[in-house]
Amino acid sequence: MKNHIATIFAISVLAACGGGGDSSSSSGTDNVSKYVGTWKTACWTSSIYKDTSNSNASAYLTRTFVISKASNSKLSVSVTDTVYASTDTGCTGSVEATITRTGQNTGTFTSNSTSITSSLGENSFTYAGVASITGASGADNFDVVSAALSSTSNATFTVGNISLNSSDFTGGSAKTALYLSGSTLQLGQSTGNTNYPTALNTTASAIFTKQ
């Protein structure tokens, strides 16, 4: 899946595979409230965002999840990528673009010189049982749904000096895991969309700090 659920929600992300786990779930048990909140990654780089002012080099970004509770077993997620220049390795300079997938299904898409806001469908995590990940006791498996950024396939958008293509944000479904340790939220390692992960993703794109 090209919207990078684990590297986006993966966006990256947000796709994971490689194992089993207890898939049992009770609609009367609150399995998701502990994940509610605003979560943000450190600075990382991704080729899905290209810096047109620097020969289309990969730009840097931070990713923010705003996670809300939809039910005892389901989370709704708004995903915002705050994109910086390809030379801004610490994401401390001027923001070049803000790309938001709201997770709402209002059928709206707006683009201007500084941002894109897309509300073309849900972004969600649905609880799928206890994960089986060594060293991550308390991690949970989730089935992920993410919306496409645009209703137009293979469309290129330029926001400020940042170029992106809708083919990298096609949406779809995947399997992942969430592991909460204090104020840190970590995603499972992305290896596909058939099975749940058996390891955590240790890259900056998959590690979020509560805000």
Q: What would the mean pLDDT of 60-78 be, rounded to a whole number?
A: 98
Give every CB contact of residue 92 below 8 A, 6+ residues apart in sequence: none
Contacts for 192-195: CB closer than 8 Å, 24+ residues apart? 192/15, 192/16, 192/17, 192/18, 193/1, 193/15, 193/16, 193/17, 194/17, 195/17, 195/18, 195/19, 195/20
Q: Where along the chain do its domains lie?
A: 6-210
**Amino acid (1-letter code) at residue 11:** I
Q: Are 83 and 49 in contact (CB under 8 A)?
A: yes
Residue 60 has pLDDT above 90, yes or no: yes
In this prediction the pTM is: 0.89
Give every CB contact of residue 26 below 8 A, 6+ residues apart in sequence: none
Cα 3 to the chain's mean position, in Å?
A: 8
Q: How many CB atoms lie within 10 A of CB 156?
A: 11
Alpha-carbon gap, residue 14 to 144, rounded angstroms: 7
Residue 15 has pLDDT above 90, yes or no: no
Q: What is the pLDDT of residue 159?
A: 98
Reported as a pLDDT band with limits 50, 70 and 90, residue 193 is: confident
The mean pLDDT of the chain is 89
Residue 206 has pLDDT above 90, yes or no: yes
Q: What would the mean pLDDT of 97-102 be, rounded to a whole number?
A: 98
Residue 4 has pLDDT above 90, yes or no: no
Give tens-digit pLDDT for 117-163. 999 999 999 999 999 999 999 999 999 999 999 999 999 999 999 99
Alpha-carbon gap, residue 145 to 105, rounded angstroms: 13
Q: What is the pLDDT of residue 194?
A: 82
Residue 48 has pLDDT above 80, yes or no: yes
